[in-house]
Amino acid sequence: MVTMRRIVATATALLLLVLNCRKAEGVQEDPLAREAEEAFVEYLKIDTSNPPGNETAGAKFLQQLLIKDGVEAQLVGSDPNRQSVYARLSSGRSEKALLLLHHIDVVPAVAAEWTMPPFSGARSGGYIWGRGALDVKSLGVAELMAVIDLKRRKVRLKRDVIFLAVADEELGGIKGCKELLEQHPELFENVGFVVNEGGYNETVVDKVTFWGIETSQKVPLWLRLESKGTAGHAASPPDDGGALARLVRAIDGVLRIPMPYRLTPEVQHYFHAAGRMRRDARGEVLRSIAEPLDIKRIESVLSPGYRALLRDTLAVTRISGGSAVNSIPAKASADIDIRLLPGSNPGEMLKLVTRAVGENAELEVLLAGEPGPESTPDTELFRTIARAMTASEPGSTVAPIVQAGTSDSRFFRGRGVIAYGIAPFKVNYYDADSVHATDERIRSRFFAEGVPLVRRIVNDFSAAAPQGK
């Protein structure tokens, strides 16, 4: 009897598996799936590595797709090689507009290290491969399809919907979002909401358990240390050891700056929500985290990714100087990437670094991000996104999160616009590691499922009357 029950259970499980596979294949039958995938693959083939960017090729590609469907789209930006593309579907109504944002540029890729060429858009092994597959051309195509869908179905809108694909996000947004906001404020008239990259999700066996919607992020402070000294033969070094020795002392001083742990209310809320879905030791630490922090336990259980949200971080990312083993250079430099928790004071950190460096180096600020406010999750847009996400994966939960990384959302939050970072595509943790690394890729099936999810979010938040999905 027990055996029989087992056999029946196994047969049922197999049947369910087959049905699930059919269902999964059914997802591919989304009317726009094929079109979205073709556009995505073509977009991946365009090399928009930043530096130098060359976003104009990507901008023109997106512009053509919009124009083909009768959506007016214009190229914007002061640099002919660094264009962004902008399109607005007008509602004729005064409700705050929704801006769908993504960046065209990608981080560079070393082709020799990749399994598939990084700008091939190859379809292989159930994946679509390419630099930008996750960060963030997939989101760009999903947003594009959402706009095209509204236009094709002639949906009556209760608010304007704007599509904006920008240049230069990866290196700080100076030639992209920042420039456009400063020089073309008319493009952003009446914008109240931004949907951008920056969220994340956790999956267990291909099912999402937790969707994080990013509502705030750490603040970048990028510094360069430059040491100078007497150049000369290494057989008779100067007393201070020369420029490189001075630089090493400066870096050593900086690395000794204490980075104490502290828990912000936003991070506590996020960790409690994420911890509820986990049955392991990490889940236990997350869902019970509170001040005073149990540092020993946190350091033994939480990965660096989680811990980065509990303190400011500092990393040495580049060192240069010297040309031969037997000569002392006149100059040497190092770049330092500091990320501050919301609420930390960049001026205070700068003082600490200045003191740590002392006379050993000169300090240059490469980028000082301005601390922006959190985007409150208490909005109709947040609830719309959460509803769509949980509907797409029954049993999953949604919560606001803080990101250690930075995105263009900060420019909008600084101007009082609500900006949310979403991750509409399921990503298994082992694939997530390919972001900014080798073999960046997205599961074809997850891409196909994320496209209608974005469409639903945009439709539900912007359509004047209930519309078909």
Which stretch in 49-57, 135-143, 171-179, 441-449 sits in contact with Zn ion by CB under 5 A? Answer: 135-143
- Please give the residues from 445 up to 464 whose contact with Zn ion meets the rule CB under 5 A: none
CB 325 within 8 A of CB 187: no
By C-beta, is 121 or 229 nearer to Zn ion? Answer: 121
Which stretch in 73-81, 131-139, 222-230, 364-372 sits in contact with Zn ion by CB under 5 A? Answer: 131-139
Which stretch in 189-197, 248-256, 339-347, 440-448 sits in contact with Zn ion by CB under 5 A? Answer: 189-197
In the numeric block, which tokens belong to residue 92? 């004729």
DSSP state of 178: I
By C-beta, is 242 or 450 nearer to Zn ion? Answer: 450
Q: From the CB of 122, what's the least distance to Zn ion, in Å?
A: 21
By C-beta, is 271 or 447 nearer to Zn ion? Answer: 447
Q: From the CB of 355, what's the least distance to Zn ion, in Å?
A: 34
Q: From the CB of 79, what's the least distance to Zn ion, in Å?
A: 20
- Does 160 help bind Zn ion (rule: CB under 5 A)? no
- Neighbouring C-alpha atoms within 13 Å toward the C-beta of 137: 34
Q: From the CB of 103, what's the least distance to Zn ion, in Å?
A: 6
Q: From the CB of 17, what's the least distance to Zn ion, in Å?
A: 35
- Does 135 help bind Zn ion (rule: CB under 5 A)? yes
- Does 136 help bind Zn ion (rule: CB under 5 A)? yes
Which stretch in 132-140, 152-160, 178-186, 351-359 sits in contact with Zn ion by CB under 5 A? Answer: 132-140
CB 187 within 8 A of CB 176: no
Q: Is 280 left (phi over 0), alpha (psi -120 to 50) or beta?
A: beta
**Which residue has the closest beta carbon to Zn ion?**
135
Which stretch in 11-19, 112-120, 190-198, 427-435 sits in contact with Zn ion by CB under 5 A? Answer: 190-198
How would you classify the pairing of strands 207-217 and 127-129?
A: unpaired
Q: From the CB of 228, what's the least distance to Zn ion, in Å?
A: 36
CB 186 within 8 A of CB 374: no
Q: From the CB of 404, what's the least distance to Zn ion, in Å?
A: 13
- Does 55 help bind Zn ion (rule: CB under 5 A)? no
By C-beta, is 142 or 349 nearer to Zn ion? Answer: 142
By C-beta, is 160 or 197 nearer to Zn ion? Answer: 197
- Tell me the per-residue interface mask from 357 to 396 with Zn ion, x by CB under 5 A, - otherwise: ----------------------------------------
By C-beta, is 271 or 425 nearer to Zn ion? Answer: 425
Q: Of 456, 389, 394, which is closest to residue 423 (Cα–Cα)? A: 389
How many residues interact with Zn ion (rule CB under 5 A)? 3
- Does 214 help bind Zn ion (rule: CB under 5 A)? no
Dist. CA 372–CA 369, nearest whole Å: 9
Instruction: Give the length of the chain.
Output: 469
Q: From the CB of 341, what's the least distance to Zn ion, in Å?
A: 21
Between the CA atoms of 16, 17, 18 and 24, what dihedral angle is there, to the nearest 10 degrees? 110
Neighbour-count burial of 351, counting CB atoms closer than 10 A to its CB (0-12 exposed, 13-18 middle, 19+ buried): exposed
3 state SS for 408-448: CHHHHHCCCCEEEECCCCCCCHHHHCCCCCCCCEEEHHHHH
3 state SS for 17-41: HHHHHHHHHHHCCCCCHHHHHHHHH
Q: From the CB of 169, what's the least distance to Zn ion, in Å?
A: 6
Which stretch in 20-28, 136-144, 243-251, 361-369 sits in contact with Zn ion by CB under 5 A? Answer: 136-144
By C-beta, is 50 or 384 nearer to Zn ion? Answer: 50
By C-beta, is 177 or 267 nearer to Zn ion? Answer: 177
Q: Of 187, 186, 185, 190, which is closest to residue 159 (Cα–Cα)? A: 190
DSSP state of 369: P
CB 453 within 8 A of CB 392: yes
By C-beta, is 197 or 449 nearer to Zn ion? Answer: 197
CB 37 within 8 A of CB 26: no
Dist. CA 302–CA 96, nearest whole Å: 40
By C-beta, is 271 or 446 nearer to Zn ion? Answer: 446
Between the CA atoms of 461, 463, 465 and 466, what dihedral angle is there, to the nearest 10 degrees? -70
Interacting residue ranges for Zn ion, rule: CB under 5 A? 135-136, 197
